[in-house]
């Protein structure tokens, strides 16, 4: 069962990301955090993992080390550790996109099981959103991504493969299937050269 700690984390995440929107849309960013937490809970998350799922982008996007310290103080060191492991950087300005993603992939192989689990939930929701957005917007979608079409597809395949090497959980299998479908959809819809 989830306790009032989860409720506090929900309020904290909503306040922290209040002014943030999903990339390329007017959807409040908290929708992604809620979806990631829902996926985690549906796949058996304990409360620390569910709280970390709500807060998985807090360090990376909302304050770095100071936010990490606040999370540890408010929700415990295990939650802060999972969130830290799910962050591809806490530096500002952020390093170049490809460099960050390659470093995150290398890190993921040695991350804790809980961090890989929360990361899989996060990437599953993101991949589902990219697939849905691609089906609606087509090739124009790639303009909103730092990695463009090729980089974005590379990253989702690399994340899915890396997590599949470490874990055979249902959420990872769902991620692999979603990335397969995304690649298939893009291949079949993209104009031939």
Q: What is the mean pLDDT of residues 124-137?
A: 96
pLDDT at 191: 63
Structure tokens at 22: 């999903």
- pLDDT at residue 91, as a whole number: 82
CATH number of the domain that 152 lies in? 1.10.3210.10
In whole angstroms, what is the distance from residue 78 CA to residue 72 CA?
Answer: 8
Structure token digits, residue 18: 């209040």
**Mean confidence (pLDDT) of the chain:** 94
Residues sharing a CB contact under 8 Å with residue 167, sequence separation 6 or more, in sequence order = 113, 116, 117, 120
pLDDT (mean) for 99-113: 95
Token pair of 157 as six digits: 């395949």
User: Is there a catalytic annotation at residue 61?
Assistant: yes
User: Active site includes 133?
Assistant: no
Q: Which domain holds residue 69?
A: 4-189
Instruction: Report the C-alpha gap between 33 and 19 in whole angstroms.
Output: 14
Q: What is the pLDDT of residue 161?
A: 98
Contacts of 78 (CB under 8 A, 6+ apart): 48, 114
CA–CA dist 130, 134 (Å, integer):
6
Of 48, 49, 57, 60, catalytic: 60
Of residues 62 and 172, more confidence is placed in 172
- CA distances in angstroms from 136 to 63, 122, 124, 129, 130, listed in the order given: 33, 21, 19, 11, 10
CA distance 185 to 107: 29
The residue among 60, 172, 187, 190 whose CA lies nearest residue 127 is 172
Could you give the number of structural domains in the chain? 1
Q: Which of 61, 102, 133, 167 is catalytic?
A: 61
Q: pTM of the predicted model, to two decimals?
A: 0.94
pLDDT, tens digit, 9 for 90 and up, residues 79-102:
999 999 999 988 888 899 999 999
């Amino acid at each position: 069962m989830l306790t009032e700690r989860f409720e506090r984390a929900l309020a904290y995440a909503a306040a922290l990301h209040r002014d943030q929107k999903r990339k390329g849309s007017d959807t409040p960013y908290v929708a992604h955090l809620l979806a990631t937490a829902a996926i985690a809970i549906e796949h058996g998350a304990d409360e620390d993992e569910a709280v970390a799922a709500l807060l998985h982008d807090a360090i990376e996007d909302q304050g770095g080390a100071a936010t990490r310290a606040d999370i540890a103080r408010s929700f415990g060191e295990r939650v802060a550790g999972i969130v830290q492991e799910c962050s591809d950087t806490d530096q500002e300005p952020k390093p170049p996109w490809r460099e960050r993603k390659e470093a995150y992939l290398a890190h993921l192989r040695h991350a804790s099981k809980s961090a890989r689990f929360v990361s899989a939930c996060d990437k599953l929701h993101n991949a589902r959103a990219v697939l849905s957005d691609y089906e609606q917007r087509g090739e124009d979608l790639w303009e909103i991504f730092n990695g463009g079409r090729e980089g974005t597809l590379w990253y989702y395949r690399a994340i899915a493969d890396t997590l599949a090497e470490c874990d055979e959980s249902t959420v990872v299998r769902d991620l692999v299937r979603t990335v397969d479908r995304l690649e298939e959809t893009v291949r079949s819809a993209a104009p031939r050269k």
